[in-house]
Amino acid sequence: MKLCRYRKFPQYHYPVIADDCLNASIHFPRTLKTYGVDPSRVVVCGDSTGGAAVTHITQVLLGQTDLPQIRAQILIYPIVQSINFQLPSTQQYQNVPFLTQDFLMMCLCKYMAIDPSWKDAILKGVYIPPDVWKKYRKWLSYDNIPKSFKNKYREPHFPGPFNEAAYLEMKHLFVVENQSLLADDEIIAQLPEAFLVSCESDVLRDHTLLYKKRLEDQGVPGNILEKLNICYMPNFARFLHERVFRKTNDPKVVVTNLLYGTIPVRLFQPKVTSSRSRRGIIYYHGGAGLLGSLDFYHNVCSFLARETDSVLLAVGYRKLPQCHYPVIASDCLNASIHFLRTLKTYGVDPSRVVVCGDSIGGGLGVYISQILLGQKDLPQIRAQILIYPIIQCINFQLPSTQQYQNIPFLTRDFMMMCLCKYLVIDPCWRDAILKGLCIPPDFWMKYQKWLSADNIPKSFKNKYQEPHFPGPFNEAAYLETKHLFDIENEPLLADDEIIAQLPEAFLVSCESDILRDDTLLYKKRLEDQGIPVTWYHVKDGFHACILLFDRKPFSFPCSQKILDAVVRYIKSI
């Protein structure tokens, strides 16, 4: 295998990538004997922009009669055209990491040396001459995308009215290196067989579908693999932890590592002195009980402490694989009680302490808010701030679970793996949990009013296929999984008398998140009991996105938006 490391921007621009890959690809076939390679079995392979390089090079090498011919082209979610940015997948997944529409357009403009002010012209297609569209529409149109892929697709008026000034600025977009999809039929017909990979939750999904149709129309053999899971989540998360989420020290925040008994905690205090007692924030981090740490969330906590002028305590609870249920809840509760008893030490106003958490940490925030209601000797929690929380482990057939089960950073498979490991449930019972076979009929009869998908607004039920849930009761499954129903794991199901006493809440949900509907269920429960709720729904958000707020180039607008909204809410208290 030969890996081509081409030059990239910002130092280099069009057509350097294509030239580098082509030159390296010509050199390698000429020296195959040196590497012991069979000249009849050479394939080219690439992903994303590398897939674009593959299609271009495969086409160019057709004319190189002095070189071995390529045996096959292997394209993994390739970009094969940069003309029609109004395809269904561009609309449906424009905010899904790791390739958002905005990031795609930024990279395109930088590489092609196009002023970013022309971005909207590219998106609307106003730079496309009418004769060009007339010629190539048959290959570029969304009419070529199967109906099953057009869910939630609003057919646009595309291309927009022709703008000659835009065309003159961007006419180099139409050269063959950038539009391998548009090669003549005679070229496409000569191409080697193809193996195409598309991912459902990908802004480029429809590029693969368009290219597949072009190849098939010309009789080129191939296979397509659709709707892959994004990746194996534990390995991917470890990569992010090691390479991306590194803590940085903020000179405006004093950070102190402490131990509350055996529980590590980290205290964040604004360096500037305050004339009065500050707000207190108790933060429980996410990570599905397996990932996350004080270092992982260091920058998020430092930002919140600085921007809200608050004292923030982050709890470093024990996690998998060493520790299991109910360790996480016990650690967080014990650390919270200790902090509340020593607020004076840290200069915290006891009437302005909030609990805050994301993902599993949001669920912990709910549970601890409920438990502390009975602690009359402690200051009462002023508010609960819950960022895409998990607050129930019973109904895994809600609309968002179906719609976003393969979206990073929390896929359904990863969530179920962590749940089983934490609760020490044999993974063989996973399907029983998903189908609800472990739920006793009398339990469901009692709690259906709070757990059912009927509580989810219709606007969130797109593509939702209502299942038969729960399935037929399996007593063996119940006996193996009955600790699922403990209050630590099901704070959504607390009695009305408890819910009615809870403090006001600030709830954050993200559209592209398997846990979106947990927030919606909890919102309804609070509102039904008259608890003030501020709900912040992020349409371009996804699970765990706040961790990326300062991690360029991996940051997304939704990351900062959520933290800014949390800051505004805390400052209002």
Helices (H) and strands (E) in the chain, counts: 21, 12
Q: What is the mean pLDDT of residues 473-486?
A: 95
Task: Mark whether 211 and 336 lie in a shared domain.
Answer: no
> Does 429 fall in a domain?
no
Q: Are 54 and 78 in contact (CB under 8 A)?
A: yes
pLDDT value at residue 241 = 56
Is residue 246 located within the same domain as residue 223?
Answer: no
Q: Is residue 475 part of a domain?
A: no
pLDDT tens column, 133-166: 999 999 999 999 999 899 878 888 899 999 999 9
Residues 325 and 357 in one domain: yes
| Cβ atoms of residues 84 and 140 within 8 Å | yes
Q: Is 155 left (phi over 0), alpha (psi -120 to 50) or beta?
A: beta
351-391 pLDDT tens trace: 999 999 999 999 999 999 999 998 989 999 999 999 999 99
Domain membership of residue 457 (yes or no) is: no
Task: Tell me the mean pLDDT in the region 384-405.
Answer: 96
Residues 208 and 280 placed together within one structural domain of the fold: no
**Is residue 134 located within the same domain as residue 25?**
yes
- DSSP letter (8 states) at residue 544: T
Q: Which element (helix H / strand E) includes 350?
A: strand 348-358
Count of domains for the chain = 2
Asked if 336 and 355 count as a contact pair (C-beta separation under 8 A), the reply is yes
Give a yes or no: residue 441 inside a domain.
no
Q: Which of 336, 359, 369, 509 is catalytic?
A: 359
Which residue stretches of 244-354 are H helix?
Answer: 298-308, 327-341
- Same-domain check for residues 366 and 243: yes
pTM across the whole model: 0.70
Q: Note whether residue 388 is domain-resident.
A: yes
Final residue before a domain boundary, out of 228, 252, 287: 228
Non-local (6+) Cβ contacts of 74 within 8 A are 43, 44, 45, 46, 54, 194, 195, 197
Give yes or no: residues 183 and 209 share one domain. Answer: yes
d(CA 456, CA 397): 12
Residue 415 lies inside a defined structural domain of this protein: no
Range of weakest confidence among 220-229, 353-362, 451-460, 545-554: 220-229
Residue 434 resides in a domain? no
Task: Write the CB contacts of 481 (distance below 8 Å, at least 6 apart in sequence).
Answer: 423, 425, 429, 432, 433, 438
Overall average pLDDT of the 543-560 stretch: 87
| 513 included as an active-site residue | yes
Residue found under tokens 């969304």: 142
**Can 454 be counted among the known catalytic residues?**
no
**263 exposure class (CB count in 10 Å sphere: 0-12, 13-18, 19+):** middle
Residues 275 and 137 in one domain: no
Give the model's confidence band at 232: pLDDT under 50 very low, under 70 low, under 90 confident, else very high: very low
Check if the beta carbon of residue 121 is closer than 8 Å to that of residue 163: yes
Catalytic residue among 206, 331, 349, 513: 513
Region 458-478: mean pLDDT is 93
Q: In this structure, are 367 and 280 located in the same domain?
A: yes
* 108 vs 114: CA distance, rounded Å: 8
- Of 298, 512, 543, 559, the catalytic one is 543
Q: How confident is the model at residue 564 (pLDDT cuts 50, 70, 90)?
A: very high
**Span 475-492, average pLDDT:** 93
22 versus 422: the higher-pLDDT residue is: 422
Q: pLDDT-based confidence at 230, cuts 50/70/90?
A: very low
Residues 331 and 258 in one domain: yes
**Angle at CA of residue 149, ends 147 and 151, nearest 5°:** 90
Q: Is the pLDDT of residue 3 over 70?
A: no
Please state, for a pLDDT cut of 70, what percent of the chain lies above it.
95
- Hey, what amino acid is at 60? V
228 falls in which pLDDT band (50, 70, 90)?
Answer: very low
In a shared domain, residues 290 and 344: yes
Contacts of 522-530 spanning 24+ positions with Cβ under 8 A: 522/366, 522/386, 522/389, 522/391, 522/492, 524/455, 525/450, 525/492, 525/499, 526/499, 526/502, 529/496, 529/499, 529/500, 529/502, 530/500
Residues 150 and 247 in one domain: no
Residue after which a domain boundary falls, among 194, 228, 262 = 228
In the 8-state DSSP scheme, what is residue 326? T
306 contacts 571 by C-beta, under 8 angstroms: no
**Mean of the per-residue pLDDT values of the chain:** 91
The answer to whether position 138 is within a domain reads yes
Residue 14: pLDDT band with limits 50, 70, 90: confident
Q: Is pLDDT of 237 > 70?
A: no
C-alpha dist (Å) from residue 158 to 109, 141, 351, 486: 20, 9, 57, 54
Give mean pLDDT, residues 438-457.
96
Nearest of 402, 487, 417, 503 to residue 447 by alpha carbon: 487
543 given a catalytic annotation:
yes
For residue 229, the model assigns a pLDDT of 38
CATH number at residue 94: 3.40.50.1820
Q: How far apart are CA 452 and CA 521, in angstroms?
A: 9
Structure token digits, residue 49: 């922009």
Q: What is the pLDDT of residue 223?
A: 58
The CA angle 321-326-328, to the nearest 5 degrees, is 65
Considering only residues 10 and 344, tell me which one the structure prediction assigns the higher pLDDT.
344
Confidence at residue 226, expressed as pLDDT on a 0 to 100 scale: 43
Q: Which domain holds residue 203?
A: 16-228
Q: Which of 202, 228, 254 is the last residue of a domain?
A: 228
DSSP-assigned letters across all residues of 305-320: HHHHTEEEEEE----T
